[in-house]
DNA sequence: TTTATTCATCGTAATATTACAATTAACAAA
DNA sequence: TTTGTTAATTGTAATATTACGATGAATAAA
């Protein structure tokens, strides 16, 4: 099918899954890392850094914007992207909390 | 295409993306949470808990095993699953490090 | 006005993912 | 040996994702 049954999961589970998607492709990891390392918001030189077509980079940026973890400021003819702190911190908290719920136990 | 160009990314970026995939579907998040909450390793009652067909659950378990974040112990006719601590901690470290590299700056 | 630059969007092709029914495999118990 | 139970695997259908060329929109500069 390829169609996730979101209705049978909690809102939290669906949100975590969505936030994880921001990191679930190496190109998006690379984009996020670039946006962080160049403290100033990088624009389309992402295309130069990544060996991907401009349309492909734009598509990944769109997905990151949909999730909310980055924001873009139009500054014609350029667009300036950067991490969106509230959502970044939301992800940090959500994953941090999830990771912390596991306490190693002898098992199986 | 649907075919990720893994060769143009670093090993670290590809690994983070792979680890993120463990959390990038709400069913897998639910499975991981169940494996954690029932400290004893749950087996196929995952199928009862999740409103998903057995084959679907098995497929998600296979993906989680591929990533390495869970392990299964065959205990016929049952299989006992649990979190694989080293990989869980690898993910915790990897995401923790990534989250910490971002320091909020005024931007755009 | 024309031209150049940057980036989003559209269209398209190929592969991946999600989901499930049906089957198979592996074993315990009768 | 036969039967029952559990879970993996297979086959299949439908949707999603990834990637890119081409086009379009928006604006600055000439």
**DSSP conformation letters of B48-68:** HHTTS-HHHHHHHHHHHHHHT
A67 in contact with B, Cβ within 8 Å: no
Write down the architecture of domain B9-95 according to CATH. Orthogonal Bundle (1.10)
Predicted confidence (pLDDT) per residue in B64-75, tens digit: 999 999 999 888
| CATH T-level assignment (fold) for domain A9-93 | Arc Repressor Mutant, subunit A (1.10.10)
Q: How far apart are CA A38 and CA B60, in angstroms?
A: 37
What are the pLDDT digits (tens) for A65-79?
Answer: 999 999 999 888 899
- Classify B68 in phi/psi space as left (phi over 0), alpha (psi -120 to 50) or beta: left
The A 35-74 residues near strand D by Cβ under 7 Å are 52-56, 59-60, 63
> What pLDDT, on a 0 to 100 scale, did the predictor assign at position B72?
92
Q: How far is A52 from chain B (nearest CA, A)?
A: 9
Residue A35, CA distances (Å) to A73, A86, A92, B28, B61 in order: 13, 15, 17, 29, 34
Interface check B26 vs A, CB under 8 A: yes
Q: Which residue stretches of chain A have pLDDT < 50? A: none
For residue A58, the distance in angstroms to the closest alpha carbon of chain B comes to: 15
Q: What sign does the dihedral A60-A63-A67-A73 (CA atoms) show?
A: positive
Nearest to A4 among B22, B26, B72 (CB): B26
């Amino acid at each position: 099918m390829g169609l996730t049954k979101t209705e049978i999961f909690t809102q939290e589970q669906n949100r975590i899954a969505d936030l994880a998607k921001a990191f679930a492709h190496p190109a998006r990891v690379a984009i996020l890392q670039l946006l962080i390392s160049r403290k100033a918001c990088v624009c389309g030189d992402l295309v130069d850094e990544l060996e991907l077509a401009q349309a492909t980079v734009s598509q990944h940026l769109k997905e990151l914007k949909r999730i909310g973890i980055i924001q873009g400021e139009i500054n014609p003819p350029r667009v300036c992207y950067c991490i969106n702190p509230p959502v970044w911190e939301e992800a940090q908290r959500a994953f941090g909390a999830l990771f912390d719920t596991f306490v190693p136990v002898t098992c199986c």
